[in-house]
Homo-oligomer: A and B are copies of this chain.
Amino acid sequence: MSHRIITISREFGSGGRTVGRMAAEKLGIPCYDQELIDRISAETGLMKPYVEEKSENIEGGWLSFMAGRDFYGHSMQDDLFLAQSKVIRELAEKGSCILVGRCSDYILKDFDNVLTVFIHASMDKRAERIVNQYGERAEDPFARLRDKDKKRKAYYQLYTDREWGAMGNYHLALDSGILGLERCADIIVSLY
A122 and B190 form a contact (CB under 8 A):
no
Q: Which 8 A-B pairs have the closest CB atoms?
A: A173-B173, A171-B175, A171-B178, A167-B173, A167-B167, A165-B167, A120-B167, A187-B187
- Chain A: interface secondary structure? mixed
**CB of A118 within 8 Å of the partner chain:** yes
In the complex, the count of this chain's copies comes to 2
* CB interface residues, A 160-192, toward B, < 8 Å: 165-168, 170-175, 178-179, 183, 186-187, 190-191
Distance, CA A175 to CA B105, complexed state (A): 15
Which residue from chain B places its CB closest to the CB of A187 in the assembled complex?
B187
Chain B residues closer than 8 Å to A187, beta-carbon distance: 187, 190-191
Check A175/B170 contact, CB under 8 A, given A187-B187, A187-B190, A190-B190: yes
Distance, CA A167 to CA B165, complexed state (A): 7
Chain B residues closer than 8 Å to A179, beta-carbon distance: 171-172, 191
* CB interface residues, A 110-145, toward B, < 8 Å: 115, 118, 120, 122
A115 to chain B, nearest CB (A): 8
